[in-house]
Structures are given as structure tokens and as C-alpha cells.
Amino acid sequence: MNRLEVRSFIKSFFPGLGKATASPGTELKPFLDLVLSLKRDLPLSIPLLRDLAYVKAGRETFFLKGKIDRLYRRLCRLQEELSRLDLKKAASGTVLEDFVFSQIDFSRYRNLSRDDFEGFFSEGLKDFDNAFYKENFGFEREELQSLIAESYEKADKIYRIKRESPLVLSVMRTLETSLETSPLFTTEEIEGELKNLFGFIGGVEERRGSLPGMELLYPLLVSSLDKVIFSHGDGMSTKLFVGPQGDLTGTFQPGGKPWTRILIPARS
């Protein structure tokens, strides 16, 4: 499609979204096919929409798989620590939280492989919203990103800490183990990418910031992930499903033990 054809499609697609179709999910297919047809080298930032189109086409995703992989790694890390925790070693009268904290090996953050530093810790900063960082550390995400970058130096295939401090170690620990991640994606993120798409093709008249029917796209995209399976590097897999209340949930298997996490809460 050229831009004129894409523009015409967009203008007709959203007003007709949500009408009865042959089977659930078919409403999205023409739109996702359009996204798949857009070349990756275009000056157009729609990583989430591309990923969601790749899922339905059975192709490898980038953003979604990365976020789910990191959550799986955090669960594996927690499962590993829980399995090693020996409460019999806690002194009488010791507060459980204090004992658990005393067992943390912060030295693991002094030398990190390049893959871990760049693919997990740097990218992992995006898994938590800014409110989380402000509440836990009193800093904006960008400030903590700068702190990490300034605290480590690249040496061969590793990143070595050069400015060790309780704050940077606490941030690294949080990135590796906290489960208070933001939703897999939000309606605001989808709306932002749609505006990027509209701006790229041009000529799409917006009314109050959106086209009629545009609000129906987000819940349909969430539902499109029902029964989708993501495989991890260790051979385990995570199955997504939409629960009775409308939450998008994932069943993970860290250490062979099932953990169920809500990835996108149902909208009230």
C-alpha cells in the first residue's frame, strides 16, 4: 500500500471496528496485516504494534519477548533464593526481613557479563514506571540510568563496577528481583504509537485526539495474546491467557514451579 491507500484504510477501519465478525479476533487481522506490510526501515516508531502483529503471524517478537523474558528471569532468581534460604540459621528473635536481607549476595553486581548488563539491567529499567523509582529511591528513572552508566566501566566482555555505593547496589538488586513491573503495555502506549502512525501517513483527521472506534483497539490487542506461548532460553515456556475478569495473565515455570502473574490488569 502507498500512503494514500493506508490513509484510506485507516479512516474506514476504526469506525467499523467492533462489528460482528465470523470469529473473535478477525476484526484485528486487516490492521495487523497492514502493520506487517510497513517496512522496518521507515521513520516510524511503532514497536508495540509491530510486535503484536508478529505474534499473530507466528514471528519472533522483540519488545514483548524481552519484557516477558526479564520477568521470567526475576522469578527464576527469586525461586533460586527461596530454595537456598535456611530459616533454621536465623538467630532467635531475628526479624524475617532482616534475615533475608542478610543473605543477599551483593557482590554478584560487581562484575556483570555484557549480555546481562546491556540486555537485562539496562533494558530492565524500562520494565518499571517512573512512580516506582520515585517511591523506592526518590529519583527519576533517567537519573538512575545515568547512575548505573557512571558506576560501571566496560572491560572486555564484562562490565565492572567502579563506583560502588549502597544506592547503586540496591538499584541493581531491585532490577533483578522486583516483581512490581509495569503492565506489558498500556493504552497510552498504544495510543502514542497510533498517533505516530497517523502522523507518518498524514491526512488523518483526528477528533479530540482520536478517531471514532479507536478506543476499541486496545482491548482487542490485549485479547489477541490469549493462549500465546513464549519460549525461554532454558527450554521453559510461559503461556499467556485472558482470565475471567479480563486480566492478561502469564503462567511461568521458574525452576519447574508454576508462578502466575498478571501482565495487564483488566480495565475497570
Q: How confident is the model over 149-207, as pLDDT tens digits?
A: 999 999 988 999 998 999 999 999 999 999 999 999 999 999 999 989 988 888 665 54
- Burial group, residue 102, by CB count within 10 angstroms (0-12, 13-18, 19+): exposed
User: Could you list the residue range(s) of the whole structural domain that residue 131 is in?
Assistant: 81-177
Number of neighbouring beta carbons within 10 Å of residue 66: 17
Number of domains in the chain: 1
Q: Residue with C-alpha cell 530492565? A: 124
Mean per-residue pLDDT for 7-21?
78
Residue 74 lies in a domain: no
Whether 86 shows a pLDDT value over 50: the answer reads yes
Q: How confident is the model over 96-133, as pLDDT tens digits?
A: 555 565 567 889 999 999 999 999 999 999 999 999 99
Whether 239 shows a pLDDT value over 80: the answer reads yes
Whether 2 shows a pLDDT value over 80: the answer reads no
On whether the CB atoms of residues 127 and 182 are closer than 8 A, the answer is yes
Contacts of 133 (CB under 8 A, 6+ apart): 139, 140, 141, 144
What was the pLDDT predicted at 95? 46
Mean per-residue pLDDT for 135-150?
95
What was the pLDDT predicted at 268? 45
Provide, rounded to the nearest whole percent, the portion of the chain with pLDDT above 90: 61
Q: Residue with C-alpha cell 504509537? A: 193
What was the pLDDT predicted at 41? 80
What was the pLDDT predicted at 242? 95
What was the pLDDT predicted at 214? 83
Query: Closest by alpha carbon to 148, among 157, 130, 160?
Result: 160
DSSP string, 87-155: GGGSPTT--HHHHHHHT--GGGGSEEEHHHIIIIIIHHGGGS-HHHHHHHHSS-HHHHHHHHHHHEEEE
Residue 129 lies in a domain: yes
Residue 32 lies in a domain: no
What was the pLDDT predicted at 36? 93
What was the pLDDT predicted at 72? 97
Residue 98 lies in a domain: yes
Q: How confident is the model over 16-54, as pLDDT tens digits?
A: 886 655 455 678 889 999 999 988 888 899 999 999 999
Q: How confident is the model over 50-76, as pLDDT tens digits?
A: 999 999 899 999 999 999 999 999 999
Residue 125 lies in a domain: yes
Mean per-residue pLDDT for 218-240?
94
What was the pLDDT predicted at 105? 83
- The residue count of the chain comes to 268
